[in-house]
Amino acid sequence: MDDFKVPTTQLATEIHCVDGSVLRGRIFMPALSAVHSGPMLPQEWVNSPPLFFPFRQDDGPTILVNKDQVVAMSVAATPEGDDEAREPAAPVRRATVEAGGKRFEGGLTIDMPEHQRRVVDYLNRPEPFLCLVSGENHLLIRKALISRVVGTEEK
**Contact 88/111 with Cβ under 8 angstroms?**
no
Shared domain for 121 and 141, answered yes or no, is yes
Strands 22-30 vs 8-17: parallel, antiparallel or unpaired: antiparallel
Model confidence at 148: pLDDT above 80? yes
Shared domain for 106 and 147, answered yes or no, is yes
Shared domain for 85 and 150, answered yes or no, is yes
Shared domain for 49 and 91, answered yes or no, is no
Instruction: Evaluate the CA torsion angle 91, 145, 14, 32 in order and state its sign.
Output: negative
Query: Is 61 a member of any domain?
Result: yes
**Boundaries of domain holding 108:** 81-154
**Tens-place pLDDT, residues 7-19:** 899 999 999 999 9
Please count the CA atoms within 13 angstroms of the CA of 5 that sit on its side-chain side.
7
Q: What angle do CA 118, 124, 127 make, to 5 degrees?
A: 125
Shared domain for 91 and 39, answered yes or no, is no
Question: Which has more confidence, 99 or 155?
Answer: 99
Query: Is 142 a member of any domain?
Result: yes
Mark which of 22, 41, 69 sits at the end of a domain.
Answer: 69
pTM score: 0.86
29-36 long-range Cβ contacts below 8 angstroms, 24+ apart: 30/6, 31/6, 31/7, 32/7, 36/82, 36/86
Mark which of 69, 94, 115 sits at the end of a domain.
Answer: 69
pLDDT of residue 129: 97
Shortest CA distance to 137 belongs to which of 75, 79, 45?
A: 75
Mark which of 69, 91, 117 sits at the end of a domain.
Answer: 69
Confidence of residue 124 (pLDDT cuts 50, 70, 90): very high
Query: Is 76 a member of any domain?
Result: no
Shared domain for 137 and 104, answered yes or no, is yes
Shared domain for 149 and 98, answered yes or no, is yes
Confidence of residue 34 (pLDDT cuts 50, 70, 90): confident
**Tens-place pLDDT, residues 37-90:** 888 999 999 999 999 999 999 999 999 999 999 999 999 986 544 444 445 578
Report the domain count for the chain: 2
Query: Is 1 a member of any domain?
Result: no
